[in-house]
Amino acid sequence: MSEIRKHYFLPEYCIIAEERSKRPSDFAGPSDGSEKSSSESCVFCGGNEEKTPPATVVYNEGEVFADTEEKRVSKWDFRCFPNLYPAVSPAPSPPGFHGKGLETFPGFGFHEIIVESPVHGKKLKDFSDTEISGLMRVYKDRVCHYAARENIRYVSLFKNSGKAAGASLDHTHSQLIALPVCPQVLERELKVIREGQKCPYCALLETEKASPRFIHENSKFVAFAPYYSIGPFEVWILSKEHISFLGDFSPELLSTLGEILREVLRSYAKILGNMPYNHMFYQLFETPEYHLNLRLLPRISTAAGFELNTGIYINTVSPEKAASYLRGDE
């Protein structure tokens, strides 16, 4: 039996089709080969700093440094540098003319790589408390840096882990793209939020804490499988406190965010193995009405003709069943 489910507060739908489902072990991802790759050939590994553009920022034991063209910082915990093949550029070429009535803008923006460890093959689920809280601090610093740049309206912070999730290199890293436009998905959410009297994320948080979709909780955050899930084992992480932007997070919030993210990734590893996944921050700066959320999506299913035609995703694992597995109940 299948169900059509509506998004919590947007006019969007998904189909939960459990009769097509499998056990988590059937989804488990194979090794991505990262442990077999030579650190000599991986440009993100410690010791290969000359193989990337100079780092804009280098973090080592809580201190901040930067590369120069002549000298690279060789000892580091986290390393941030411009993407060698950027989607956007701080100095874009003038746009071409493609016909009357067709709008085109310069491809302005910033595209940065955040290398999360000098050690090849290391995964976020295996980070120590110091390492995971340090990464959250880097996330905050870099998002704030680009949010303060002139003409930037949105900073997309995301991680592609595994080839199926869009990663071209196995070495653990995240990316940041700062844009002069706000994505339509955030504009739609913000419109609904501003029309209501209460933050819908605060409301759904109370619902999901007591639902069968609840997964993990700590002093500051709740992780759950959303009622409206576009894919198997999708997880949302919400702050119990209404905060719109990572730049407003205290050190304690950053640490507890890292802890619950790591907890979810460990749950994924137990039941899905080395499954490719994405994690994505949804946030807005200078917009206090919004409620920051972090979403994780294992790349189990592929959008096909129906999904592309309708924008309605078919999910073969109900969020209730996914949460049960991720909690360790089954």
Residues that constitute the known binding site for Zn(2+)? 42, 45, 120, 171
Give pLDDT tens digits for 150-194: 999 999 999 999 999 999 999 999 999 999 999 999 999 999 999
Q: Is residue 33 over pLDDT 50?
A: no
Residue 229: beta bridge partners?
Answer: none
Q: What is the pLDDT of residue 25?
A: 67
What does the buried/exposed string (b/e) look like for 296-317 if buried means 16 or more CB atoms within 10 Å of the residue's CB? bbbbbbeeeeebeeeeebbbbb
Lowest pLDDT segment from 21-30, 133-142, 196-205: 21-30
Give pLDDT tens digits for 61-105: 999 999 999 999 999 999 999 999 999 999 888 888 888 889 888
- Among residues of the chain, what percentage have pLDDT more than 90? 85
Average confidence score pLDDT of the chain:
94
Q: Is residue 34 over pLDDT 50?
A: no
Q: What is the pLDDT of residue 219?
A: 97
Give pLDDT tens digits for 285-308: 999 999 999 999 999 999 999 999
Q: Is residue 30 over pLDDT 90?
A: no
- Among the listed residues 7, 98, 145, 173, the single catalytic one is 173
| Cα–chain center distance at 117 | 17
CA distance 312 to 16: 10
Give pLDDT tens digits for 233-279: 999 999 999 999 999 999 999 999 999 999 999 999 999 999 999 99
Domains, the chain, ordered by start = 2-327 (3.30.428.10)
What would the 3-class secondary structure string for the chain be?
CEEEEECCCCCCEEEEEHHHCCCHHHHCECCCCCCCCCCCCCCCCCCCHHHCCCCCEEEECCEEECCCCCCCCCCCCEEEEECCCCCCECCCCCCCCCCCCCCCCCCECEEEEEECCCCCCCCHHHCCHHHHHHHHHHHHHHHHHHHCCCCCCEEEEEEEECHHHCCCCCCCEEEEEEECCCCHHHHHHHHHHHHCCCCHHHHHHHHHHCCCCEEEECCCEEEECCCCCCCCCCEEEEECCCCCCHHHCCHHHHHHHHHHHHHHHHHHHHHHECCCEEEEEECCCCCCCCCCEEEEEECCCCCCHHHHHHCCEEECCCHHHHHHHHHCCC
Residue 218: phi and psi, rounded to 5, are -130, -165
Active site residue 291: no
Task: Name the pTM for this structure.
Answer: 0.94
Q: What is the pLDDT of residue 93?
A: 83
- Among residues of the chain, what percentage have pLDDT more than 70? 94
Q: What is the pLDDT of residue 22?
A: 64
Residues that constitute the known binding site? 42, 45, 120, 171
Check: CB of residue 284 under 8 Å from CB of residue 244: yes
294 exposure class (CB count in 10 Å sphere: 0-12, 13-18, 19+): buried
CA distance 328 to 317: 16
| Cα–chain center distance at 228 | 18
Amino acid symbol at 263: E
Q: Which of 64, 40, 44, 61 is nearest to 52 (CA)?
A: 44
